[in-house]
Structure 1
């Protein structure tokens, strides 16, 4: 009944009058970062929606259009598959089924955001991408969260692999994020240190937006969020802060259905034949001059979850986001926590489906958890690959409680870290967890990467760290002595240059390189070109056992590449790799899986463009008394609008590895504000 009441009241509750925009302040600092103040949390969320729309309404709309299955109307045939996926995942049914589970207090926050974004759209009709996309409803916003979290956990790659018939492969991309926390006993300044350093796309729906949210109801949080988000996803409040990194446990289950030999859509579970639920998904696709045509696609569903048919059979899949929509509510509770006890209470919801959490607070508490909403699975089966979908024994039975997840509180070493490595190397060896103590069906693995190896090299150099030492670690761009990329590159450093013929200079440059990826480094570009060259033919070679002949060919590929595009062999990383904003490009350092990581895509004329990696950076010191000391930088600036002065004003800071001072003192923010105003 509560859900019905909510829906019936939607028209009168989600209106800007209820939230009184005249009571909401948007305070823009000199960098254009919005500091939102209002009496209530719901009003703050309204102000956040308005301010974020001023800076990036287009991306917010794209997320909402996807949730409303209107991407085909906006992008034409390129957008229609997104609309199909939303229908295949049954995002609307998921929201309708679980909306009653959301705390009414958080519903108010979501309503505030919806009211703010609807008000902005009404006042800026010329910016609306698709007619009839507004007003946005409560269901729409939660559908957007379900879709975004499903994609974050790999639904897009999984569905693509299923349609292509690649059902036994897992697409582990080189995703990077760093989180470091250091206790007072290991710092020379008697402060707690925290580094929030997620490596996300530099632009688009998963790029960070910085905001500061303040209310009279105890909300005072600064940090990063994604377009459409009504709360901070990671950052700091007056008491505590945390950083997220992508983690790797078993987040997706794929089941091969046993189909009836004669009846097309019957599948067996135990001794019963069940019929696949079939529906027609209606897609509206823009084709030319605004003309839209209707397209219908079939989508199937089973007791295991959505179903994709391919040449190998019928395959169902299951993800935690199908059973949970309270992730944003959990982030809100984390925003409002004042100590580790309250923070863990928020985490006990286990509503956020994944992401490591590294936590620090002013009370000198450190905490790490390999967070996730992990299904309880039958140990009789091998969950590392495709599971047989013909028995109720393989249907997951609920989810593990928070206490089952790998976690460490206040290690004796005085530090915690994660660089997307496994949950079982998070601190000094004597304090680490043992993988054998955890349910193997959860899929947590013990593994390290280049960044974790390098961090361990650096953290072991000093018993205590100064603030500058901590910054040196965060901005380190040197690979460890032995590389652990998925393609084995270590033998390249032992090849005989005399056998490289005309490519000997390339090989000598790589072998004399100190493995540093600073912008002026000579050898970093060479290794990256070699790596990308081998990746292009990875389906034809054994990437862990490459022959000497194949290595020499790869080295010669680098020589030919450099001569073709640069007319010389001696090319620095900054000549090859660029940070691009609008029509401007800047030399930038960094390589995949160095601590200060940059991953690039080809941009033409032999150069590559930074795509993911270093983006929003927050560095925090927690003294014993007073507010935390905060420094942040976002790769480009606060706005995605080219005519804004804050479109690219943080680039010089970012490239020089500097940060801007930020404060949680809203009165101090007002004193130095560039502009203070109210949303409409």
Structure 2
């Protein structure tokens, strides 16, 4: 992985494309031909499924075959979030700049650089089973059917979406969860540490995990019957995501006659439940960041810059040309060309200070959809482990629980099978093939924990060596340094140890209360920063002395009535964010003064109630909200001109899953907004927001019996509003 890269001041100018085409007028000859909807509509007739929406608008999809369910889900998903699905698919084709303009060109370039379409075109049929291809193609058919029926919402040239497009979305997106974009941008920018930015706003909005100015994390906790007061098994599913965009959660329940029955969270463009539960088991995901990227400095032939040295021999680069069409304004566009290089190591970037190759977990991988399908359909721990052994997912922690009372934690990743000795955290010499790893460490050798005696496992984006009680934790010395395992802790991890970890007999009410904890631990970065500010002599500065008194009196609780949270969080957030981004953090005294000025300017005092500052906004709603950055009840806000913070991410879809002592399943959930992602006129645009802000949940209607009496709409794809719920099965 890139730790320190001394390449000089390249900057984003490295992505300035050479314009090889003149500005052209988009006329009838160059505009994409209109899509004939007739074949799409005819193809839809091959599927037989029903969409039932409950009182919250959550879709419940029923069909005889998995493919039937996937088709209807693609249609229902599009009813609520078609624009996001469409943008994401256009991005997978390397064509986002043709719609979003020049700022999206970098995303298109990366699609070419990473060989996304080459991977999907060469491995789609060989690496994916017919069953998985049938499901992702059916999902694409459902999206297409919606688009064909709503041409006013469809961008010219988008239809048809294909199964390859769906697979490509997983291929491109998954490496960015562990931070591949950080390394690529560091190379582009010539930084000597982690980059300050990432992909363009348009690129992020269309495709990638948003890296907002504040850190975003996730929580997952599993309790075995040994840890609960009533002998139940419990699972907390609590990924922290942006509220909107390509990695914002969408809730659904799917049930086929072929055993695919799941409830949980889906990303736009995904037919598979990514985390949640089925009847027998469930899991939560949290982001992990092991070292999964290696950077190599190449030696270039001084007589031929199309060659690099490897094992004493000059090798030709594999060269292609990325043709990127960029929308300008009105009918004007241009096409630019950018050379794309690959070496035996992987993609190559040319910088003013040399050529660098990148090798990363997930390179050339297409089986992500295969693994998610297997996870969704697993019925017991052994089957779930078999699915994990596919090792098709480049990263992501798994926290598992099941009806048998089993719990587990897996620090999942495609760990490169590296040789010992080299400094894999630095820039490696690229002239020897001995440093080009060709496989991954087997599942048996990665960090994981099954059924610890303590009866609980957790992760909150912290080191895997703190996942349960101290005596049961994994030992660092049992894992080689070549795995690049992270060693960090978060406030949320500290608070899990102080809540779940301190309670030997956890009740259902305590389980929920601990999740919605809004406190900062005494060992947290927040506490450390406050201590540093309090150590400053303020006798000559009355305003600073008042601020210190507020911080000293604050109990480190970020509820809406707190009088110290606003000052503390506005002071600490820039410091913690810079540290997490690998940048030199600002002096806390400077950020304290900024916070003091902001609060006095907009609120007339240094200690307004946190709820006056921390706001949850959606449509006409404008509500105070508990929680803050890196609290278990996680809320991250955008700084507004009026001095407030508008929540934009953190807690989103939350699920509490329980199997009682007899193995009976029940679950509850809440979404930050509601099922109607984009439709501001829908009653489900913000109907769950009051529940979310109040830290309350609704029942997940998992079975047909649960759903009975709660169906607000029932229809087949394309027939919404044409029949009453009673008229269709």
Q: Under TM normalisation by the shorter chain, which class is it?
A: over 0.9
Residue 657, structure 1, aligned to residue 695, structure 2: yes
Residue 151, structure 1, aligned to residue 176, structure 2: yes
- Cα deviations across residues 546-605 of structure 1 (Å, max 9, x unaligned)? 8xxx54444333222212222222212222222222454322222221111122222322
CA 514–301 in structure 1, closer or farther in 2 if over 3 Å, else same: same
CA contact (8 A) 1:500 1:552 kept: no
Deviation at 1:118, TM superposition (A): 1.2
Deviation at 1:170, TM superposition (A): 7.0
Match among 233, 247, 270 for residue 229 of structure 1: 270
Match of 1:107 in 2: 133
Match among 250, 254, 258 for residue 209 of structure 1: 250
CA 667–578 in structure 1, closer or farther in 2 if over 3 Å, else same: same
CA contact (8 A) 1:507 1:555 kept: no
Counterpart of 1:203 in 2: which secondary structure? Answer: coil
Deviation at 1:478, TM superposition (A): 0.3
CA contact (8 A) 1:27 1:670 kept: no
- Cα deviations across residues 328-350 of structure 1 (Å, max 9, x unaligned)? 21111111111101100110100
CA contact (8 A) 2:234 2:657 kept: yes
Match of 1:7 in 2: none
Match among 25, 41, 49 for residue 24 of structure 1: 49
Match among 607, 614, 618 for residue 581 of structure 1: 618
Distance 2:334 2:528 in 1: 46
Distance 1:503 1:142 in 2: 55
Distance 1:494 1:467 in 2: 42
Match of 1:357 in 2: 398
Match of 1:457 in 2: 498
Unaligned runs of 5+ in 2: 1-35, 197-210, 719-729
Distance 1:280 1:486 in 2: 52
Distance 2:156 2:365 in 1: 31
Match of 2:411 in 1: 370
CA contact (8 A) 1:49 1:230 kept: yes
Match of 1:482 in 2: 523
CA contact (8 A) 2:93 2:117 kept: no
Distance 2:280 2:578 in 1: 50
CA 542–43 in structure 1, closer or farther in 2 if over 3 Å, else same: closer
Counterpart of 2:362 in 1: which secondary structure? Answer: helix
CA contact (8 A) 2:290 2:485 kept: yes
Counterpart of 1:264 in 2: which secondary structure? Answer: strand
Match of 2:652 in 1: 615
Residue 571, structure 1, aligned to residue 641, structure 2: no
Residue 121, structure 1, aligned to residue 159, structure 2: no
Distance 2:456 2:577 in 1: 39
Deviation at 1:661, TM superposition (A): 0.6
Once structures 1 and 2 are overlaid, which stretch shifts more, 252-261 or 495-504? 495-504
Match of 1:93 in 2: 118
Deviation at 1:471, TM superposition (A): 0.8
RMSD: 2.3
Distance 2:488 2:597 in 1: 36
Distance 2:487 2:713 in 1: 50
CA contact (8 A) 2:189 2:195 kept: no
CA contact (8 A) 2:265 2:273 kept: yes
Match of 2:725 in 1: none
Distance 1:486 1:441 in 2: 33
Using the size of structure 2 for normalisation, the TM-score is 0.87
- Cα deviations across residues 167-200 of structure 1 (Å, max 9, x unaligned)? 6537797331000011112111221111000011
Distance 2:578 2:49 in 1: 56
- Cα deviations across residues 125-163 of structure 1 (Å, max 9, x unaligned)? 1101x2111112232222222111133232333222111
Using the size of structure 1 for normalisation, the TM-score is 0.93
Distance 1:331 1:221 in 2: 12
CA contact (8 A) 1:533 1:557 kept: no
CA contact (8 A) 1:165 1:311 kept: no
CA contact (8 A) 1:354 1:373 kept: yes
Match among 632, 639, 650 for residue 669 of structure 2: 632
Match among 166, 185, 199 for residue 191 of structure 2: 166
Residue 137, structure 1, aligned to residue 178, structure 2: no
Once structures 1 and 2 are overlaid, which stretch shifts more, 297-306 or 240-249? 297-306
Distance 1:252 1:531 in 2: 30
Once structures 1 and 2 are overlaid, which stretch shifts more, 651-660 or 161-170? 161-170
Once structures 1 and 2 are overlaid, which stretch shifts more, 421-430 or 78-87? 78-87
Match of 2:343 in 1: 302
Deviation at 1:98, TM superposition (A): 2.2
Residue 406, structure 1, aligned to residue 428, structure 2: no
Matches within 5 A, 1:507-526: 507-526=548-567
CA 105–15 in structure 1, closer or farther in 2 if over 3 Å, else same: farther
Counterpart of 1:671 in 2: which secondary structure? Answer: coil
Q: How many pairs are equivalent?
A: 662
